[in-house]
A and B are shown apart, each in its own frame.
Chain A
Amino acid sequence: MATIAAEHPAGRRRAAAVRSAAQRAGMLVLVLAVLWGLWEGYRWLWIREGWTWPFVVDSTTMPHIHDILRQLFRNPTSGAGGDILLVQLLHAAWFTAKEALVGFALGASFGFLLGVVLSQFRLLQRGLLPYVVASQTVPILAVAPIVVVYLGSLHVAPWFSVAVIASYLTFFPVTINTLRGLQSTDRAALELMRSYAAGRLSVLWKLRIPAALPYIFSALKVSATASIVGAIIGEAPSSIQEGLGGFIVNFNQYYSLNPENLWATNLIAALLGITFFLAIVIAEAIVVRRAPENIA
């Protein structure tokens, strides 16, 4: 099903784009407002009624949102000097992001190559695929301390150990989806390549891989989040203080004193995850030019 390219006057197109952007921004504001309302409403109702299920509600377990936001602009460490929490958290986020990025790059590259190799050699596929799948049931995050100690004995910087952990979480979706994407090539397109007497490598490069890109990007979106999770959680056994993971462990200890700190950290962590995800979405829009998807 295809439509004949139609010409719209440029002006009308621009107006439509501006309108849809405004609609989306409006929707975002609405959703955030609803969430804020739900939070404060829940809090108000539970405190008023004194309900204790599922958990007790007070200013420690559920601080006001405006308190959390205000905390961002305060200095968490008492005493003179130091940046406001927001700045500290952004530095930490950047630190964690770098670990995650390295891990993501390593994991995605390895995953892609593994997927390509497995697609080309059936024997290897049958031999290795079960373990690739089983590897994800290993709670790598529990193996983290061992990884850190071992790599430390090889004089590897702690942040790199974290990146390795992040890459472990990244490679699996990419491998599986690369494999699936490469195997999902249209039969007629393969026949066409055969009619051109195209070699295996040509078919791989010119047909299978481009056809697999949507699958690969789908996995990259998952992996983006996984690498952030790996980086955050991996930081604790590595005793890394500068990343978001370190902040979380720290603020967790003093939670009852200053619950807003931990909430604020989680907020920044959430934004980091979403940002990374959006970066992949944008990359996908640039690289993968397909027919616009009709989501029913």
Chain B
Amino acid sequence: MSVVTIEGLTKRFDGGTTALEGIELAIAEREFVSLIGPSGCGKSTLLRIIGDLIQPTTGTVRVNGKPAAQARADRDYGIVFQDPVLYDWRTVGRNISLPLELARWNRRRRNERVREMLRLVELTGFEGHYPWQLSGGMQQRVSIARALSFDPALLLMDEPFGALDEMTRERLNLELLRIWEASGSTMVFVTHSIAEAVFLSTRVVVMSPRPGQISDVIAVDLPQPRTAAIREHPRFFELVTRVREALHLGSDLDRKLAAPTAAEAQP
């Protein structure tokens, strides 16, 4: 069952930039798909189009079998940004219950769900804290809890761990996988870290810029559930290399890149 179906998608901004060109993508239930690519490849734009936060110029986007706009109205997805975007004037608990208030859940149901979510992200006991009392990693976990609070079929994440340090990032990657397993959602994850993309995903979609397009889709056949040890598995390094080469290929196609060394220096 396809959760996300994208056909013939193009996005042109006023001013002439073609952010996305001819995108075709199908994401099945319970998949973990990463979108990776250099700046300007349109991965964040693509994510936002799936979430109906930006409208495509041409093409169709269907989420959960409905048009993207309908999916948004029905709250079929949750979204996590790089910035946790927590409201300073609400406690952690009230931040998590925000979408539930908007969906008009009654108080008892809301409180129950908030407690459940806190347990899921392992922040039990922090319900009464304010966002600025928590570390960056904890704030991001609250943001994830909030996104999952209304049990969406789809979770969209835009470089959620980009602002965190490497150690916290690796730990949260494991956390995220556990949450993915427990919640049964489908994940679309934007990142510019190759290691992270390979570690987390079932498929990695490699994108290239100018115009933004999909240059390769790589299936990650590492065993599930992933553990920290996987990062040292030879197959892991093979896949990372494959992704890296796909990225270079994508950027080589772009003649506007100046010197070859610039392409070489790509992560």
B32 close to chain A: CB less than 8 A: no
Q: How many A-B residue pairs have CB under 8 A?
A: 69
A195–B72 CB distance below 8 A: yes
Task: Mark interface residues in B68-81 (1 if CB within 8 Å of A CB, else 0).
Answer: 00001111011101
B130–A289 CB distance below 8 A: yes
A267 CB to nearest B CB, Å: 38
CB within 8 Å of A: which B95-131 residues = 98-99, 101-103, 129-131
B132–A291 CB distance below 8 A: yes
A250 CB to nearest B CB, Å: 47
A194–B53 CB distance below 8 A: yes
B102–A198 CB distance below 8 A: yes
B202 close to chain A: CB less than 8 A: no
A188–B77 CB distance below 8 A: no
B87 close to chain A: CB less than 8 A: yes
B74 CB to nearest A CB, Å: 8
- List B contacts of A194 (CB < 8 A): 53, 72
A197 to B76, CA, bound (A): 10
A4 to B133, CA, bound (A): 6
CB within 8 Å of B: which A2-22 residues = 2-5
A213 to B131, CA, bound (A): 17
- List B contacts of A291 (CB < 8 A): 88, 130, 132
A191–B53 CB distance below 8 A: yes
B89–A202 CB distance below 8 A: no
A1 CB to nearest B CB, Å: 8
Q: Which of B134-142, B171-179, B190-198 contacts A (4 or more CB under 8 A)?
A: B134-142
A195–B51 CB distance below 8 A: yes
A197 CB to nearest B CB, Å: 5
CB within 8 Å of A: which B4-54 residues = 48, 51, 53
Q: Which one of B73, B83, B138 lies within 8 Å of A197 (CB-CB)?
A: B73
- List B contacts of A197 (CB < 8 A): 72-75, 102
B99–A196 CB distance below 8 A: yes
B249 close to chain A: CB less than 8 A: no
A195 to B102, CA, bound (A): 11
B85 close to chain A: CB less than 8 A: yes
A210 close to chain B: CB less than 8 A: yes
Report the count of interface residues on A (CB-CB < 8 A). 24
A146 to B139, CA, bound (A): 58
A189–B132 CB distance below 8 A: no
B77–A195 CB distance below 8 A: yes
A186 close to chain B: CB less than 8 A: yes
Q: Which one of A5, A195, A202 lies within 8 Å of B133 (CB-CB)?
A: A5
- List B contacts of A2 (CB < 8 A): 131-136, 139
A192 close to chain B: CB less than 8 A: yes
Task: Mark interface residues in A189-210 (1 if CB within 8 Å of B CB, else 0).
Answer: 1011011111000100011001
- List B contacts of A210 (CB < 8 A): 87, 89-90
- List B contacts of A5 (CB < 8 A): 129, 133-134
Interface centre among B89, B90, B133 (most CB of A within 10 A): B89
A206 to B101, CA, bound (A): 10
- List A contacts of B88 (CB < 8 A): 289-291
A202–B129 CB distance below 8 A: no
A191 to B79, CA, bound (A): 10
Q: Which one of A4, A186, A192 lies within 8 Å of B79 (CB-CB)?
A: A192
A191–B102 CB distance below 8 A: no
A289 to B87, CA, bound (A): 11
A288 close to chain B: CB less than 8 A: yes
A192–B85 CB distance below 8 A: yes
A197 to B74, CA, bound (A): 8
A78 to B134, CA, bound (A): 66
A186–B85 CB distance below 8 A: yes
B133–A207 CB distance below 8 A: no
Q: Which one of A4, A196, A202, A207 lies within 8 Å of B75 (CB-CB)?
A: A196
A216 CB to nearest B CB, Å: 13
Q: A197-B74, A197-B75 provided; 10 other pairs, C-beta below 8 A? A: A3-B135, A5-B129, A186-B85, A188-B83, A191-B53, A192-B81, A194-B53, A194-B72, A202-B102, A207-B87
Residues of A within 8 A of B (CB): 2-5, 186, 188-189, 191-192, 194-198, 202, 206-207, 210-211, 213, 288-291
The 3 closest A-B pairs by CB, nearest first: A291-B132, A5-B133, A195-B79
- 17 cross-chain CB contacts under 8 A: A2-B136, A2-B139, A3-B135, A4-B135, A5-B134, A189-B85, A191-B79, A195-B51, A195-B53, A195-B72, A198-B102, A210-B87, A289-B89, A289-B130, A290-B88, A290-B132, A291-B88
